[in-house]
Structure 1
Amino acid sequence: MAARRAARTAPPGGATVVEEDPGRLVRVCGRLDVHSVPEVRAALHAAVDRGSGRLVVSVDGIVVADATGLGVFVGAHRRAQRAGRELVLRDVPLPTLRLVRVTRLHRVLRVEDELARAAGPPRPGVTGLRQQAQNRRAEASSMPRRAS
């Protein structure tokens, strides 16, 4: 729902691609749909062919309007693999991140998670706190407990 709303409120026009560090860092902004994908695909393929090692694609300003928007990243990822490179998506907006996870593309595409890196390692005892909260809810319930 949020992705559809974001796609409707996206500014008209296509996506723009700026290669900030040739062959290493590319910034993609705007609306990714069937009309704008050919230019984005060509720019990503040129960036893959131009460099070596890791290619970071910053997508903080994108709105994915249809499946071709995600497909352009899958195609660039495959081209990077064939060239012995790694494609990494950075600064993925939440609606796009949800689409990537729902379509299970997070298993294929490498998504750099800024929130996970900022949060650091998991805190000890969190699972214990969750278990305590579940026990309190179970005690407060008027429903009989099931036999295990």
Structure 2
Amino acid sequence: MANLPLRRRGIDIFFAIVFAAFTVTSLISDLLPSVGVDFSHPSSNFFVNSNYWYAHDTDPLFMHPPTWMRIITGLSAFGYMPFYVVLVFALVTGRNWIQLPAVVYATMIVTLTGIVVFGVEFFGEPEWRTPSPVKFLLFNLPYVLVPLVLLIRMRRPAPFTRRF
């Protein structure tokens, strides 16, 4: 069966746009803590200041990441970010081979971000708990929900032959 054209796969257009944005956010926000950039105070550098603004107001764990958190952000910066580029290409061109890698990716995101990071932010050590749970969820829930919906999208063989 032939794949549907992209214009008939609206959910894939949505995913392509969102994962293109995730590529940029991985580059900006996940790369800095992974390589040890200090953003615990305001800076004249736009990227450092953006991370400071987010971490100061929303996520103290991100501002002073322990080693395990730097591993997670490093995985995002050096693993997920290149995958996002490949995923966007596969979504736009309707390449069915992306199905298994997308399922593996979505499972990792839901596990690492959804369980580990959210668990520490809400139930972990007091110095890492988020001062604003609502703000934290607004900023971070899309990074778990969108991959979860992608996982549902990729559940059938040849996912691009039918609409969502």
TM-score after normalising by structure 2: 0.24
Q: Which has the higher contact order (CA 8 A, sep 6+)?
A: 2
TM-score after normalising by structure 1: 0.25
The structure whose residues are more often strand, as a share, is 1
The structure whose residues are more often helix, as a share, is 2
When Rg is computed on C-alpha atoms for both structures, the one with the higher figure is 1
